[in-house]
Amino acid sequence: MALFPTRDGTDSASSADRNSAANQNFENPGSVSSQQNVQATVSGAVTIDCEDGEAHEFKDVTGNITGLTLSKPVGAQVIIITLTDDGSGPYTFAYTSTVEGVGGTTYSTTVASQTDIITLMFRPNVSKWVELSVGTAIA
């Protein structure tokens, strides 16, 4: 069975076969789950276990995040972190030393009552995370 149809239309794989092959990426041992991990209240030192999935949401940031640690990255993994300020902020935000920002600057503060979304990618060849994008003050 071919995983991708050919241009001449000779691929005889059904859509069920193609869906089954695609879903194997999420079911194989050692692959990263596609689930979203939600933590209700956070402040202080926070650790994200990257084996737990790609999406991590902190629904209620109640104080400064003094150090975000990203543990157990899987390959060149991309993760998305969503932070929602509890309304009493802004709060400061700091990564551990394993995160680099484009141009040397990384995300550093929340906005009161707003949501921020951060996308990071792990670079296994240098054992560092790179902050790819930051969306701030999303209502």
Between CA 135 and CA 138, with CA 90 as vertex, the angle to 5 degrees is: 30
Q: Which two tokens stand for residue 89?
A: 């902020």
H or E element: which one contains 26?
Answer: helix 15-27
In tens digits, the chain (139 residues) has pLDDT values of 444 444 444 444 444 544 443 343 334 444 444 567 888 789 999 999 999 999 999 999 999 999 999 999 999 999 999 999 999 999 999 998 789 988 888 999 999 999 999 999 999 999 999 999 999 998 7
Q: Where are the domains of the chain?
A: 35-138
Residue 15: name the closest of 28, 27, 26, 4 by CA.
4
pLDDT of residue 86: 94
